[in-house]
């Protein structure tokens, strides 16, 4: 994609995140090899692909955990290619926390309140402010508890939740930052079959208020909630389109069959 096209996107404002020629090479091997992505505002955009396709590496380039070896990332009009993760968070990008980053001994409500407070950064810690919970942070926490359907468990320590509920809480922690773009890395991985519908419904509903980009392996979920699906294969974009287009594309089937054949 040319630079002038990227500039046009910035002017229309329809696209919140755009990559051009994104590459991450480990020596001669390109885990991500010239990826052009365009995430439109107000959509759920899912990246799928067989094992080793480069999904996680792409995700880490977007969040700032990995530095691309070539290409550019524009987020909401800013070039963030070389910006550290915390700067991207400050601009409105939020990724789901991992269970390991939940405060296990604090209640669900306290976890969410701290995540809401964290968004205000140093301001929330200003020394002239009285110590204690700010009502606006508590309000955000309670709104999210409703969305997560964790009302009955609001005062329970995060560490006592089921695995599935902890994964739901991770998504809530990312929501508490009130981001412009929510990035979710395999939100249903490791979840029991009973918890998956709750997560599916949650992500589907998030699409009404947020722009969501996720990596997901569960095809039932991918096909039911995504507006756009990018299929990666061997570090490149293989196919992109709506669920029906992707489902019917023989190249996608061939890529997954190749994976099965290799097992």
Binding site for ligand ATP (CB under 6 A): 26, 31, 49, 51-57
> Which lies closer to ligand ATP via its Cβ, residue 55 or residue 153?
55
Q: Minimum distance from CB of 260 to ligand ATP (Å)?
A: 14
If phi > 0 it is left, if psi is from -120 to 50 it is alpha, else beta; for residue 212 that is beta
Helix (H) or strand (E) holding 231: strand 228-233
Return the number of the residue (122 or 263) whose C-beta is nearest ligand ATP. 263
Q: How far is it between the farthest Cα atoms of the chain?
A: 64
Rank residues 76 and 185 by Cβ distance to ligand ATP and give the closer one: 185
Nearer residue to ligand ATP within complex by CB, 147 or 236 = 236
Distance of CA 202 to the CA centre of its chain: 13
Q: Which is nearer to ligand ATP, 52 or 243 (CB)?
A: 52
CA 223 to chain centre: 17
The single-letter DSSP state of residue 155 is T
Alpha-carbon dihedral sign for residues 103, 181, 203, 95: negative
Query: What angle do the packed helices 108-119 and 135-148 form, to 10 degrees?
Result: 120
Task: Please state the closest distance from residue 167 (CB atom) to ligand ATP, in A.
Answer: 17
Least distance between ligand ATP and beta carbon 17 (Å)? 18
CA-to-CA distance for 29 and 43, rounded, in angstroms?
32
CB of 79 to ligand ATP, least distance (A): 23
Minimum CB distance to ligand ATP, residue 69 (Å) = 12
> Is residue 170 within 8 Å of 122, Cβ to Cβ?
no
């Amino acid at each position: 994609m040319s630079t002038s096209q990227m500039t046009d996107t910035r002017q229309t404002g329809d696209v919140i995140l755009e990559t051009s020629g994104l590459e991450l090479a480990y020596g001669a091997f390109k885990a991500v090899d010239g990826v052009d992505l365009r995430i439109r505002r107000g959509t759920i955009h899912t990246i799928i692909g067989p094992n080793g396709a480069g999904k996680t590496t792409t995700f880490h380039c977007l969040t700032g955990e990995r530095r691309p070896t070539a290409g550019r990332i524009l987020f909401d009009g800013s070039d963030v290619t070389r910006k550290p993760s915390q700067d991207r968070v400050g601009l409105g990008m939020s990724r789901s926390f991992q269970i390991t980053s939940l405060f296990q001994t604090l209640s669900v409500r306290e976890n969410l309140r701290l995540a809401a407070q964290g968004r205000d950064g140093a301001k929330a810690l200003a020394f002239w402010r009285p110590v204690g919970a700010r009502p606006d942070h508590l309000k955000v926490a309670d709104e999210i508890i409703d969305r997560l359907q964790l009302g009955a468990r609001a005062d329970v320590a995060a560490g006592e939740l089921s695995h599935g509920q902890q994964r739901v809480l991770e998504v809530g922690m990312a929501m508490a930052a009130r981001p412009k773009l929510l990035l979710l890395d395999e939100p249903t991985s490791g979840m029991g079959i009973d918890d998956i519908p709750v997560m599916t419904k949650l992500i589907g509903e998030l699409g009404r208020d947020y722009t969501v980009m996720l990596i997901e392996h569960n095809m039932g979920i991918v096909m039911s909630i995504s507006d756009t699906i990018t299929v990666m294969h061997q570090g490149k974009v293989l196919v992109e389109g709506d669920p029906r287009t992707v489902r019917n594309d023989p190249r996608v089937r061939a890529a997954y069959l190749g994976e099965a054949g290799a097992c």
